[in-house]
Amino acid sequence: MSDRAFERLRNLLGPEGVERDPRGLPRAVPESDDALALVCQTAQFEGWKARVEGQGSWLPPDGPADFALSTRGMARIVRVSAADLVATVQAGTTLESIRAELQKHRLWLALDPPGRPDRTIGSIVASGTSGPLRHGFGPVRDHVLGCTVATGDGRLVDAGGQVVKNVAGYDLTKLHVGGFGGFGVLTELHLRLRAQPAMDATYLARGGRQALAGAGQSAVESQVGLVALELLAPAIAAVPEWTLAARLGGTVDGAHAEAARLAAVTGLTWEQLPVERAAAFWSLVARAPLSGEVALRLGGLLDGLPDLTDLVIEMLGEGLLAAGLGTGALRWAGDAEAEALKALRHRAAEREVPLTLERAPWPIRRVVGHFGAYREGVGLLVDRLRATFDPNGVIAVALEGRE
């Protein structure tokens, strides 16, 4: 089967368009959205299952499939419109190359997702993995204006557009952001950009978890103008104590004023990081979840975050825990068994908090699922939508998990 798929894909894409992954699985690397759609059509015809990946740096390349379908051959920055603060990029473009290009224009994609800098934008969007900047700029969905997607049966379709406000037709983009590829393979994205702020400063405070959380809460309640406010477990910053990391940006005078308020309302001693150390620090925070086999996120509420943090620590340990004190978003990374994750999901659900599995080896993903069981009335809708976008189940993804 593997050899036949390899040959068939080579006939479709040419010798450059197919390779073997480290496990010997054929890996299709189309260089255009048309070619990618053709691969999907062929897979549907042949009854193959595809494991979709970008650079393969986030999800382990271990899901059962007949071939891997990578977007790494589609890594072009199609257009940057500085005046409109919009960029169009192919899905296989890495975050670091997007950042480098935008830097030339003094622009910024205000996303700092977990993972390596060579993660593709398609992976980040498909998994909906935002980082600490969610505090100031919202989750991944707020940065995606539109996209082009190849459905499982190989139709190329557009969703959304290239302007910041748009309500023409249904907002299908939302299905693809955080849909883990279940509704098609992203091929191109229109991204919302921001002008680089005149000042971007990072401040750190160290101490006990409760004390830092309380101080951070004061900053939130006092509306200190921050773009990130993240409580980090000791293992993330490789220090003995917990870290409260605050990031602020804007005009120089405005940012200085906010920094002074931050100090005043929290009563903490803050260390301002020099620019190079700040970049290294946030890179460390982004890479931290890769130290464990599992990464998950929970959507809590401001007043429930301390309790939710306690719950996660009680059930999984401190691990590489990061909590957005202004957003209620909590990410945990580390090593955990499937049963423990399911138990945590159950306990979180009692608190009306969803748990999304972002990253794990296949045996865990298969059992736990990215989403687990759905709430009232949702399962049927998801099934119908999956059948609409991928009628023959070409895309192998464990959205729900199973025993």
Nearest distance from residue 260's CB to another protein, in Å?
A: 8
Say which residue the tokens 């830092």 belong to: 212
Angle between helices 338-350 and 305-316 (to 10 degrees): 160
Q: Which is nearer to another protein, 176 or 209 (CB)?
A: 176
In this structure, are strands 50-53 and 18-20 parallel, antiparallel, or unpaired? unpaired
CB-side neighbour CA atoms (13 Å) of 215: 27
Nearest distance from residue 8's CB to another protein, in Å?
A: 24
Q: Which is nearer to another protein, 22 or 375 (CB)?
A: 375
Q: Which is nearer to another protein, 73 or 179 (CB)?
A: 179
Q: Which is nearer to another protein, 207 or 354 (CB)?
A: 354
Nearest distance from residue 198's CB to another protein, in Å?
A: 6
In this structure, are strands 67-70 and 50-53 parallel, antiparallel, or unpaired? parallel
* Separation of alpha carbons 387 and 119, rounded Å: 29
Q: Which is nearer to another protein, 26 or 178 (CB)?
A: 178
* Separation of alpha carbons 145 and 290, rounded Å: 28
Q: What are residue 120's DSSP bridge partners?
A: 94
- Angle in degrees, CA 99, 71, 83, rounded to 5: 35
In this structure, are strands 26-28 and 67-70 parallel, antiparallel, or unpaired? parallel
Q: Which is nearer to another protein, 171 or 318 (CB)?
A: 171
Nearest distance from residue 141's CB to another protein, in Å?
A: 6
Nearest distance from residue 250's CB to another protein, in Å?
A: 6
What contacts 214, CB < 8 A, 6 or more positions away? Answer: none
Nearest distance from residue 268's CB to another protein, in Å?
A: 18
* Separation of alpha carbons 190 and 160, rounded Å: 9
* Separation of alpha carbons 193 and 198, rounded Å: 15
Where in 308-392 does DSSP place strands (E)?
322-324, 329-334, 355-359
Nearest distance from residue 3's CB to another protein, in Å?
A: 33
Q: Which is nearer to another protein, 252 or 280 (CB)?
A: 252
Nearest distance from residue 10's CB to another protein, in Å?
A: 27
Q: Which is nearer to another protein, 5 or 333 (CB)?
A: 333
